[in-house]
Amino acid sequence: MLKGKTVVLGVTGGIAAYKTASLASMLVKQHADVQVIMTEHATNFITPVTFETLTGNKCMVDTFDRNFQFQVEHVALARRADIFMIAPATANVIAKVAHGLADDMLTTTFLACKKPKYLAPAMNTQMYENPITQDNLETCRRYGMHVIAPDSGYLACGDTGAGKMPEPEELFEYIMLELACEKDMAGKRVLVTAGPTREAIDPVRYITNHSTGKMGYAIARAAARRGARVTLVSGPVELKAPLGVELVPVTSAAGMFQAVTAAAADQDMIIKAAAVADYRPSHVGTEKTKKTDGAMSIELERTDDILAWLGAHRTPGQLLCGFSMETQNLLENSRAKLEKKHVDMIVANNLKTAGAGFGTDTNVVTLITGDGTEKLALMTKDETAHEILTRLMAMGADAGWTGGGEKLS
């Protein structure tokens, strides 16, 4: 996903420098051209050969080479970069870049670079919390640099507190959010629902389903990477919210109804991937239900159908997409939902199809619209997410959406 993109990684002298090797490797796997510039201090923690082996590029080490051609190359690299991330960023380098100091290769190239810049501070807690460092970080933010908040925990120096560099997977997400996709959804507001709901029986038990939230989270991630402003209303799942997405956690169908209907009017697109309970217990016990010798039954009542509500209250220009999971008569049942709930698209999948269904990383879906039916091949949920968004964006264009993406009203 990063083919043709140049990522410049600045590595400074902190113990977290070893983690940046994993980051470089992840970027290379996405076909990015990864250029690493190290400070001399950083070479005390990790060797340039590690980065050269991983990236296939010469790692520039910061003995400021006075050779003119080399300096010009650096300006060229600053120009070629699509993103520049300093990870780990020591208190020292943060102080330098906050004040425009350019006394070595890394800071020179950083100062010359006009593309998005990220700092991943990593240092001792006292240094991090020092008002001087905090002021410097504020200055960096004021100049448009992105500061990635450090994690808290046990630090290499023996202290416990803030100052730990986030794991490479998290840094990778920042780069992917910035570079992985064309921003064709910039300015669009998208609400996605995901996961199951839980309907309480008593304080101990609940009714739910097997949804893991993977499909909805994949859609939210894809939309955010394409530049949309994404709200993710999620039932209880084990997944971490994608970077750049506003998470609204809910538990029950009633909670999801409230969260979705409260935000609905502002959305250009609402995609309901959640597996919402159709029924909930009519009475929720305040105490644990004790067993008896005989059988027992639980009376259920209908929950509100959120998608149907959205279909009845849609705002001008808004696109609605529902999901349909069936075990038989997939197309017939799903088209009936499209019409009954007044939505623009139903993403239908059969639980019994190999590669589709709960918990898998792949899906096999059929997109049903007023214009027809399109069966997509087996693909990852991430790929499926992009296909769905691309179709919805095309429908938006047909409906007169403008490039700026503001909802018609």
Task: Indicate which residues carry an active-site annotation.
Answer: 157
120 or 345, CB closer to ligand CTP?
Answer: 345
Nearest CA to 7 among 175, 125, 157? 175
Please report how close the Cβ of residue 328 comes to ligand CTP at its closest, in angstroms.
Answer: 11
CA dist 34 and 170 (Å) reads 17
Evaluate whether 78 touches 109 at the Cβ level (below 8 Å).
yes
Q: Residue 173: which residues within 8 A CB-CB, separation 6 or more?
A: 242, 243
Residues that bind ligand CTP (CB under 6 A): 253, 272, 274, 276, 278, 303, 305-307, 322-325, 337
Nearest CA to 86 among 98, 73, 70, 69? 98
11 or 276, CB closer to ligand CTP?
Answer: 276
- In angstroms, the Cα distances linking 43 to 38, 67, 86, 116, 368 are 7, 21, 15, 25, 56
What is the bridge-based pairing of β-strands 366-369 and 151-154? unpaired
Q: Residue 158: which residues within 8 A CB-CB, separation 6 or more?
A: none
148 or 276, CB closer to ligand CTP?
Answer: 276
169 or 278, CB closer to ligand CTP?
Answer: 278
Please report how close the Cβ of residue 256 comes to ligand CTP at its closest, in angstroms.
Answer: 8
Please report how close the Cβ of residue 278 comes to ligand CTP at its closest, in angstroms.
Answer: 5
Host H or E run for residue 140: helix 131-142
Please report how close the Cβ of residue 240 comes to ligand CTP at its closest, in angstroms.
Answer: 22
Beta strands in 204-292 (DSSP E): 206-207, 229-234, 245-249, 269-272, 279-281
CA dist 174 and 50 (Å) reads 23
161 or 249, CB closer to ligand CTP?
Answer: 249
Most distant CA pair in the chain, distance:
89
6 or 231, CB closer to ligand CTP?
Answer: 231
Please report how close the Cβ of residue 323 comes to ligand CTP at its closest, in angstroms.
Answer: 4
Please report how close the Cβ of residue 368 comes to ligand CTP at its closest, in angstroms.
Answer: 12
Evaluate whether 372 touches 164 at the Cβ level (below 8 Å).
no
